[in-house]
């Protein structure tokens, strides 16, 4: 399995995410080509999947929703997500309980 594409940028962490919308449930689904794969139950229409992604990642990481934002790929399944006020080690530790992240 490839390692996670994650980086530190000042006070923020940038994370590559592959979104699979309109599934039966919302869950972390492992790594795919360096991206965190997230299955969402929300449909990819009118920003529903993006809102669901932000809410889900905030819950998984234990941060406020306004700390998580999509900085690129808002209409694409491949996204760059920014998590503010945390560091890479914190994000990896939080994700590693659900996904094998190296």
Domains of the chain by range and CATH? 6-85 (3.30.1200.10)
pLDDT class of 97 with cuts at 50, 70, 90: confident
Asked if pLDDT for residue 1 goes beyond 80, the answer is no
pLDDT class of 61 with cuts at 50, 70, 90: very high
The contacts of residue 77 (CB under 8 Å, 6+ apart) are 18, 19, 20, 21
pLDDT class of 69 with cuts at 50, 70, 90: very high
Q: Give the integer Cα–Cα distance in Å for 33 and 45.
A: 25
Phi, psi (rounded to 5 degrees) for 93: -60, -45
Task: Give the SS3 label for residue 95.
Answer: helix
pLDDT class of 99 with cuts at 50, 70, 90: confident
């Amino acid at each position: 399995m490839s390692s996670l594409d994650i980086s530190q940028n000042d006070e923020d962490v940038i994370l590559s995410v592959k979104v699979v919308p309109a599934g039966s449930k919302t869950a972390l689904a492992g790594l795919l080509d360096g991206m965190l794969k997230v299955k969402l139950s929300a449909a990819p229409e009118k920003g529903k999947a993006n809102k669901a992604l932000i809410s889900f990642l905030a819950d998984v990481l234990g941060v406020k929703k306004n700390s998580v934002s999509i900085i690129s790929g808002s209409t694409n399944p491949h996204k760059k997500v920014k998590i503010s006020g945390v560091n890479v080690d914190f994000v990896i530790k939080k994700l590693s309980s659900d996904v094998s992240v190296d």
